[in-house]
Structure 1
Amino acid sequence: MSSGTPLGDFLRARREALKPHDVGLPEHGRRRVPGLRREEVAMLAGVSSDYYIRLEQGRERGPSPQVLDAVAQALKLDAEATGHLHRLGRTDTSRRPGHGTGEVSAQLLELMDGWAHTPAFVLGPALDVLAANALAKALHSGFERFDNLARMVFADPAGRSFYQEWDRAAHSCVAELRAAWGHDPSSPRIAEVVDELSASSEEFAALWKLHEVKSKSQEGKHLRHPRVGDLHIRFAAFTVNGAPHQQLVVYQAESAGRTAAAFEALREVVTEPAAG
């Protein structure tokens, strides 16, 4: 995934993404490197250049929270990226592994199955689909496999047509993987997904190098199903109690709207074999 350290790679990527005018510094002539210089970040953070260089090179272990906050402010990181920075700055002994079992509780499965009009599925840290109800499976029936959202976005031909705002979906997908990786950089499953998609998709590889961080929250999506057409949905993601490395994702449609009618049409498709 990388030859550097997680902390150093993140600092370097975020530093290179900034221009001097982004942080109120003048630009003098042509620069040999993209973004800010290490010395400029050190000055803005109030630390010595040597100390900051050691941070990027992985030679400074266990930086204090105060130093990380100062560096985050210098790099214009938002709250989520700052939290990611603090997690990467922990020593190995203070980090808790978060692989999880990948098993979904029977109670959650029963709950999802009871939502006949609402697509719902459970994701693992590497965006693996651990479980899904019938309507969620019908919604994603145009894909080769409904198994991993990252693979579906970047490696499945159906992804480009299903996600009508593909660029947005791609950025979000990679940023979510980065957020999960920040909690557990030693996760073999996340490494497997990242290595596989980096080798097969230049777009994924380029986005992964940006080190953007974003967890699933609540927003809208514009999808297109091959059978029922365009869908404008809202979704929410919830951490599963008892399995903090799993997320329950629920799709919603405006009541009495076209998307609600499309969901109903998909539900009828699901129940066709039983009806027959």
Structure 2
Amino acid sequence: MGTPLGSFIRARRDSIQPESLGLQEHGRRRSPGLRRLDLASRAGISVEYLARIEQGRDRNPSPAVINSLADALCLNPSERNHLRYLAKLAADECSVRIRPVPPPRHVRPSVMRTLRLLEHGVAVVTNRLGDILAHTAGYRSITSGTGLLDDAEPNLNRYLFTDPRARTFFADWDDIADELTFDLWQAPSLENLEWLTSELIPAAGPEFTDRLARHVVPRRGVLRLNHPDGHRLRLLRETLELPTDAQQLIVHLPECDQTAQAIDQLRHRSHGPLRSIS
């Protein structure tokens, strides 16, 4: 059985054209991209060892091997970090028995106080699983009528893949789906990841699992939303990482005057205090 580490290496190898690395094309091939032999040679490892890593038969390659593979695949900094994370994940899977466990939903009082200072803005506290843990009234106003906050414990991934309204609300649904599924690999723990994916895989099907296996590092551009009231919102996102909590505080800023005016109108229609969801 393969591993996310092996899947990522194969996906990156398949995406590289040999001529882009100055290698000769070897005629028609059964699969696209870089041959396993060429990648192994560039990384300074044997073809057999690379095959074991890709197939999940070796789950604990050394940091030196991981760095050599990153160089051989010409990975950018974000992709390198992801490769290192998947290598750690593969090693951890060898030593623990994974069982589904929901992540903690508690938000520290100091984080709530910080969020309160942002009350007139659009801000939300989430974790890497997409759980919405707390939010300002401004965030509620831009999501009103979309169904996102209807659940007692709202989750962005669940909403995105199981609620038809999400495809209208998120103007760039595919890009957001790529972002959220990629972030799942940074879940607080393997048990938390298993908890969400075991729920979503049957409900969302290949559209979710295919994205999860692609390991494409997203670009995270302007967030475009189609509010049910007819407003077209363009938002910039600034993220404050809360590493001790495995959470994020995300502030959404209007990208243009039109969006700022629309947010003001939506805020005046929606009244209510800061909300913590636990």
Q: TM-score, normalised by structure 2?
A: 0.82
Q: Give how far 1:129 is off.
A: 0.8
Judge conservation of contact 2:226–2:232 (CA < 8 Å) in 1: yes
Judge conservation of contact 1:20–1:26 (CA < 8 Å) in 2: yes
- Is 1:223 the equivalent of 2:225? yes
Judge conservation of contact 1:14–1:210 (CA < 8 Å) in 2: no
Q: Give how far 1:176 is off.
A: 2.0
1:162-217 CA distance string (max 9 Å, x none) = 11122222222222223x15x74x23x3223334434324322222221223597x
What are structure 1's unaligned runs of at least 5 residues?
none
Quote the Cα distance in structure 2 between the aligned partners of 1:99 and 1:92. 18
Judge conservation of contact 1:228–1:262 (CA < 8 Å) in 2: no
Q: 2:247: which partner in 1?
A: 246
1:194 to 189, 193, 197: 197
Q: TM-score, normalised by structure 1?
A: 0.82
Judge conservation of contact 2:137–2:271 (CA < 8 Å) in 1: no
1:208-251 CA distance string (max 9 Å, x none) = 221223597xx4212111125111111111112642x1000111
Judge conservation of contact 1:225–1:231 (CA < 8 Å) in 2: yes
Q: Give how far 1:94 is off.
A: 11
Give the direction of change, closer, same or farther, for the CA distance of 1:116–1:196 in structure 2 (3 Å limit): same
2:164 to 146, 157, 167: 157
Q: Which amino acid aligns with 1:260?
A: A
Q: 1:206: which partner in 2?
A: 210
Give the direction of change, closer, same or farther, for the CA distance of 1:198–1:213 in structure 2 (3 Å limit): farther
Q: 2:28: which partner in 1?
A: 30
Q: How does 1:49-198 map to 2 (within 5 A)?
A: 49-90=47-88, 91-92=91-92, 101-146=104-149, 147-178=154-185, 180-181=186-187, 184=189, 186-187=190-191, 189-198=192-201
Q: Give how far 1:57 is off.
A: 2.8
- Is 1:39 the equivalent of 2:43? no
Judge conservation of contact 1:80–1:214 (CA < 8 Å) in 2: no
Quote the Cα distance in structure 2 between the aligned partners of 1:61 and 1:175. 21
What are structure 2's unaligned runs of at least 5 residues?
274-278
Quote the Cα distance in structure 2 between the aligned partners of 1:204 and 1:258. 34
Q: 2:276: which partner in 1?
A: none
Q: Which amino acid aligns with 1:234?
A: L
1:113-166 CA distance string (max 9 Å, x none) = 343331111111211111111121221123323311222222221211111122
Q: Which amino acid aligns with 1:41?
A: L
1:16 to 14, 17, 20: 14
Judge conservation of contact 2:4–2:213 (CA < 8 Å) in 1: no
Q: Which amino acid aligns with 2:135?
A: A
SS in 1 for 2:268: helix
Quote the Cα distance in structure 2 between the aligned partners of 1:73 and 1:18. 13
Q: 1:264: which partner in 2?
A: 264
1:43-97 CA distance string (max 9 Å, x none) = 1212111221222233335322222111112222211221222233233399999
When structure 1 is superposed on structure 2, of 191-200 and 97-106 the one drifting more is: 97-106
Q: Give how far 1:254 is off.
A: 4.9
Higher RCO (CA-CA < 8 Å; seq separation 6+): 2
Tell me the percent identity: 34
Aligned pair count reads 263
CA RMSD in angstroms, aligned pairs only: 3.0
Give the direction of change, closer, same or farther, for the CA distance of 1:104–1:167 in structure 2 (3 Å limit): same
Quote the Cα distance in structure 1 between the aligned partners of 2:38 and 2:60. 22
